[in-house]
Amino acid sequence: MRKNAISKDTTDGPGRRRASRFPARPRIKVGILGCTGIVGQQFVRLLEGHPFFKLVAPSASPRSAGEPYGEVVSWVLDGDVPRSARPLEVLETDIARLLATGARIFFSALPAPIAGPLEKLLRENGCFVFTNASAHRADEDVPILVPEINPEHMSLALTQASRWGGAIVAGPNCATAGLVTTLKPLEEFGLNRVSVTTFQAISGAGRRGLAALDIAGNVIPFIRNEEEKIGRETRKILGRAEQGAVAPLPLEITASCCRVPVREGHLMSIEVEFHEKPDTDRVLSSLNGFRSRPQELGLPTAPERPIILRTEEDRPQPILDAWAGSPERARGMAVTVGRPRFLGRSLQIFALVHNTVRGAAGTCLLNAELAFAERLMPRPGRSNGGAR
Ligand SMILES: NC(=O)c1ccc[n+]([C@@H]2O[C@H](COP(=O)([O-])OP(=O)(O)OC[C@H]3O[C@@H](n4cnc5c(N)ncnc54)[C@H](OP(=O)(O)O)[C@@H]3O)[C@@H](O)[C@H]2O)c1
């Protein structure tokens, strides 16, 4: 435990309190780029009452800018628009306007073509950007970070910060988030080859993503660039960080991706071939017992169990399991796995990930919590960004 850690109660989202290892201090001002989209809304929800961060700079396109958030957003999540966000003016996504708010940490939920140049500009202005967009995931010095899987890759953010003043830390593609979480505890048994077929929810395509006529009662066996992203990103996340870059894991991965008429939650059928036949009990207990750095640190959005192994014959299911994870703040952050079947050297298993929480906003927020807890980002004094 950290030297300055104290045991203290901190607000943990609506109606719930959780013991915190982090001392109360002024919360850090943060912004959300693309605050009106599906992922942006998840950020707004997750930042309500957050113990480290306070939303001061929500931004979106000129279509939404200039209006109070509560009036302009078409809220698609359960419940109402969080109270503290409602009166905030939605800003234009303009560098000068964003910096004028005093925020130096930004969560990005922008379309990739807009995110690319803006995120770089923010980095050059000393900001830390935790992004869902794919624009910089392939950059050598940008980590694709899932705190339970490759927390040591955060060292790349420090390399960036020494060069630019700020850093970009990317979250993975939504399906990749579920795949790497399932694979990490299996790595010790010697991965030889991975094959995955995904059944991905409509919300993965964003608010204006798919025409109802195309997807209602239908399955579309194609998602542009998705299969390539899953292979490339999984190899990078499971790779080794050395000298300011990542050496990807040389693992054969094939993916087939479908869009299905499900609102939220990407289901995937994964086949893992090991070098040798593993002990089946050990494989299952490794999945079920998986814990990592965010759990050790007690980060606010970390699920107590990053993987939940279901034993029923018909789980996981999007409707029943997409919101898996506890405590309350970590709902949707656990990956649910089920139906493990062993055949020779291979394991077949289903996994389910909440695509806009663990697959997007939740992981990016957890990345920021890790950077904060590990003291990698500038901390505010009352004069430089602190906010109660
Ligand atoms: N959905 C997922 O499951 C998922 C998972 C992982 C990663 N991602 C990535 O996360 C990002 C956001 O995805 P999403 O599903 O939330 O998309 P979305 O629902 O389409 O939201 C896009 C957001 O970007 C804003 N925006 C659009 N054009 C803009 C412009 N020219 N200038 C400034 N803001 C602009 C929109 O504002 P207005 O409302 O004002 O138009 C909206 O707030 C994308 O890069 C996506 O690939 C998504």
Interval 139-171: pLDDT, tens: 999 999 999 999 999 999 999 999 999 999 999
**pLDDT level of residue 380 (50, 70, 90 thresholds):** low
Residue 222 alpha carbon to ligand 1 centre in Å: 20
Q: Is 149 helix (H, G, I), strand (E, B) or coil?
A: coil
Mind listing the pLDDT tens digit for each residue in 121-140? Answer: 999 999 999 999 999 999 99
CA angle 86, 22, 174 (to 5 degrees): 60
Do residues 334 and 257 make contact, with C-beta atoms less than 8 angstroms apart? no
Mutation pick for ligand 1 pocket among 61, 64, 118, 224 (CB with most ligand atoms within 8 Å): 61
C-alpha closest to that of 358 among 188, 195, 180: 180
Residue nearest to atom 29 of ligand 1 (CA): 61
Mind listing the pLDDT tens digit for each residue in 324-348? Answer: 999 999 999 999 999 999 999 999 9
Residue 318 alpha carbon to ligand 1 centre in Å: 22
Q: What share of the chain is helix, strand, coil (3-state, %, to 5)?
A: 30, 25, 45
CA angle 115, 235, 314 (to 5 degrees): 95
- Residue 80 contacts by C-beta under 8 Å, 6 or more apart in sequence? none
Residue 339, Ramachandran bin (φ over 0: left; ψ between -120 and 50: alpha; else beta):
left
Question: Residue written as tokens 């990005």?
Answer: 108
> What's the confidence (pLDDT) of residue 11?
33
Residue nearest to atom 20 of ligand 1 (CA): 206
Residue tagged active-site, from 50, 136, 153, 266: 266
- Residue 282 contacts by C-beta under 8 Å, 6 or more apart in sequence? 189
Residue nearest to atom 31 of ligand 1 (CA): 61
Index of the ligand 1 atom closest to the CA of residue 63:
40
Residue 356 alpha carbon to ligand 1 centre in Å: 11
Which residues does residue 183 pair with via DSSP β-bridges, in sequence order?
none
Mind listing the pLDDT tens digit for each residue in 270-311? Answer: 999 999 999 999 999 999 999 999 999 999 999 999 999 999
Residue tagged active-site, from 35, 174, 257, 364: 174
Mind listing the pLDDT tens digit for each residue in 83-122? Answer: 999 999 999 999 999 999 999 999 999 999 999 999 999 9
C-alpha closest to that of 339 among 360, 362, 314, 322: 314
Do residues 215 and 221 make contact, with C-beta atoms less than 8 angstroms apart? no
C-alpha closest to that of 344 among 280, 288, 284: 280
Q: How far is it, in rounded angstroms, from Cα 215 to Cα 327? A: 34
Tell which wins on pLDDT, 282 or 9: 282
C-alpha closest to that of 357 among 310, 299, 302: 302
Question: Residue written as tokens 């850690």?
Answer: 5
Show the tokens assigned to 113: 């073509």
Residue nearest to atom 17 of ligand 1 (CA): 206
174 is catalytic: yes
Q: How far is it, in rounded angstroms, from Cα 268 to Cα 25? A: 41
User: In the predicted model, what is the mean pLDDT of the chain?
Assistant: 92
Q: Taking 50 as the threshold, does the pLDDT of residue 9 lie above it?
A: no
Residue 87, classified by CB atoms within 10 Å of its CB into exposed (0-12), middle (13-18) or buried (19+), is: exposed
Mutation pick for ligand 1 pocket among 35, 39, 198 (CB with most ligand atoms within 8 Å): 39
Index of the ligand 1 atom closest to the CA of residue 73:
39
Q: How far is it, in rounded angstroms, from Cα 179 to Cα 166? A: 29
**pLDDT level of residue 1 (50, 70, 90 thresholds):** very low
Q: Taking 80 as the threshold, does the pLDDT of residue 245 lie above it?
A: yes
C-alpha closest to that of 55 among 20, 78, 27: 27
Residue 208 alpha carbon to ligand 1 centre in Å: 9
End-to-end CA distance of the chain: 25
Residue 249 alpha carbon to ligand 1 centre in Å: 30
C-alpha closest to that of 185 among 337, 304, 323, 361: 337
354 is catalytic: no
Residue 207 alpha carbon to ligand 1 centre in Å: 8
Report residues whose beta carbon is within 6 angstroms of any ligand 1 atom: 34-40, 60-61, 63-64, 93, 109-112, 114, 132-134, 174, 203-204, 206-208, 355-356, 359-360
Q: Residue 319 to residues 4, 162, 199, 207: CA-CA distances in angstroms?
A: 41, 45, 13, 20
Mutation pick for ligand 1 pocket among 88, 131, 132 (CB with most ligand atoms within 8 Å): 132
> What's the confidence (pLDDT) of residue 25?
76
Percent of the chain residues topping a pLDDT of 70: 91
Which residues does residue 57 pair with via DSSP β-bridges, in sequence order?
31
Residue nearest to atom 11 of ligand 1 (CA): 109
The phi and psi torsions of 268 (rounded to 5 degrees) equal: -145, 145
Index of the ligand 1 atom closest to the CA of residue 93:
33
C-alpha closest to that of 57 among 92, 26, 83: 92
Q: Is 230 helix (H, G, I), strand (E, B) or coil?
A: helix
> What's the confidence (pLDDT) of residue 317?
98
H or E segment to which residue 271 belongs: strand 266-274
β pairing state of 266-274 and 346-353: antiparallel
Index of the ligand 1 atom closest to the CA of residue 90:
40
Residue 193 alpha carbon to ligand 1 centre in Å: 33
Query: For the residues 358-381, what does the mean pLDDT come to?
Result: 90
**pLDDT level of residue 208 (50, 70, 90 thresholds):** confident
**What's the predicted TM-score (pTM) here?**
0.93
Residue 82 alpha carbon to ligand 1 centre in Å: 19
